[in-house]
């Protein structure tokens, strides 16, 4: 019995918007019909108005539950994808200490920003296009980069 109720609840959550929107429409129609009948002068009972408000409330409840279920599913899928992708990255820090893979990454970045590495990249580009298109310069932090363009046309 418990499993049946769980299954029914999950089904209702998944289809909450589909159930809630018609109830909202019917509720609004009942309230509008009640006001029109009162304006015309036909004596009506308060029950019609109360039923309309009840249907609007139930419709809003189903709609919000359905939207919540869809949002939860979307968020769960996003977090699972993020978790899968982050798990493939090397662990750079453990607390405040660089791990061996983090040290390797820092070494690669330092090598990539050395004067020799920048000159190698500039030489590769010159061989590829047949002319010089940039010049080496040293950054404030001591690393080396290429300034593209300037007096050299791109």
Return d(Cα 144, Cα 91) in angstroms, integer.
27
Checking if the pLDDT of 126 tops 80, the result is yes
pLDDT reported for residue 121: 83
Checking if the pLDDT of 24 tops 90, the result is yes
pLDDT reported for residue 30: 92
Of residues 91 and 42, which shows the higher confidence score?
42
Return d(Cα 139, Cα 105) in angstroms, integer.
20
67-101 pLDDT, tens digit each: 888 888 889 888 888 777 665 555 565 656 656 66
For residue 98, the SS3 value is: strand
pLDDT reported for residue 119: 85
pLDDT reported for residue 89: 55
43-63 pLDDT, tens digit each: 888 888 899 999 999 999 989
């Amino acid at each position: 019995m418990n499993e049946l109720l769980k299954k029914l609840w999950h089904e209702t959550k998944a289809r909450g918007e589909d159930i809630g929107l018609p109830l909202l429409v019917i509720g609004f129609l009942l309230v509008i019909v009640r006001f029109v009948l009162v304006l015309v002068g036909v004596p009506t009972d308060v029950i019609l108005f109360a039923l309309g408000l009840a249907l609007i409330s139930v419709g809003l409840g189903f709609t919000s539950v359905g939207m919540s279920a869809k949002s939860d599913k979307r968020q769960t899928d996003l977090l699972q994808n993020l978790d899968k992708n982050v798990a493939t990255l090397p662990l750079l820090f453990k607390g405040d200490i660089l791990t061996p893979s983090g040290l390797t990454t820092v070494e690669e970045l330092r090598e990539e920003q050395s004067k020799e590495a920048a000159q190698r990249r500039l030489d590769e580009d010159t061989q590829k296009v047949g002319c010089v298109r940039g010049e080496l310069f040293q950054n404030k932090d001591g690393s080396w980069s290429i300034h593209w363009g300037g007096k050299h046309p791109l």
